[in-house]
Amino acid sequence: MDGDCMALVYEYMQEGTLQDKLREFIPFADNGKPLTWKQRLRIGHESAQGLEYLHKACSPPLIHRDVKTNNILLSANLEAKIADFGLSRAFNNASSHVSTAVVGTPGYLDPEYYQSYQLSEKSDVFSFGVVLLEIITGKPPIIAGPEGGHLAKWVNQKLSRGDIESIVDPRMHGQYDINSVWKVTELARKCTELSSAQRPTMSVTVAELKESLDLEISTEGTRGGRTTNMNPHPHNYSRNDNFISDVSQNSVFEMGYMDGMTAPGPAAR
């Protein structure tokens, strides 16, 4: 603060945002190489820890309200930190819901929050689930084109065929443990459930990502070449696959839903 002037100073994060690293080829950053699966898992795990801290360790607890890859900053060694708390709101752990105007970013906005105006920490979980899908696929939250729409819906359609490699970012060239990828994909799908009651907490999400990272590390030195295209989860991937198709952004959003969606009545869970 300097008189009537105020400045917000951030720690310098040399590698920029996760969004840049996932979707842009930067010749002078990290030798221009795309992120490996292990690097992506570490970034996801550290980002999840940041959100868990907001939800559990802050006093009062905070809901970020704008979780997205552009708000995850990376240091020179790719350490991830959550940034931009301009939309954050405090919440009471006893009720865990706050009535508030709907704000956020297209593609990351919790559909239940949009319908009910009831904000909870599970709204951050939904947004983080979209971030995880971006980490896996390298694609943006809203995919353009006739076969596009919301990333979560696109992933579910692809997985209905049981082929994980059809959604994994091809820039990883098959260098990943297939079981680790399946585990994170299922976690992301749980995080993006339409009903907040069916989503995990950030604490559960942190634990699941740690297990996935440990699994990737344990197999890293034993595999060579491409992974075998196997589905270690033979159960049927059937669930409500209706997600956001598009939204327009101002301070309050209008949301379009996928055809066939039956909107639940506003309810604070």
End-to-end CA, the chain: 41
Per the CB < 8 A criterion, the answer to whether 148 and 91 are in contact is no
What's the CA gap between 148 and 209, in Å, rounded? 27
What's the CA gap between 263 and 256, in Å, rounded? 12
Residue carrying structure tokens 């919301």:
150
163 is annotated as an active-site residue: no
Secondary structure letter of residue 29 according to DSSP: S
What's the CA gap between 77 and 59, in Å, rounded? 30
Q: Of 2, 4, 20, 66, which residue is the catalytic one?
A: 66
Question: What DSSP string runs through 174-229?
Answer: T-S-HHHHHHHHHHHHHHT-SSGGGSPPHHHHHHHHHHHHHHHHHHHTT--SSPP-
Q: Is residue 90 packed enough to be buried (19+ CB in 10 Å), middle (13-18) or exposed (0-12)?
A: exposed
Residue 163 tokens, joined: 């082929």
| Residue 197 dihedral angles phi and psi, to the nearest 5° | -65, -25
Residues 6+ apart with CB under 8 A from 72: 17, 18, 19, 43, 47, 80, 81, 82, 83, 131
At 31, is the secondary structure helix, strand, or coil? helix
Catalytic (active-site) positions: 66
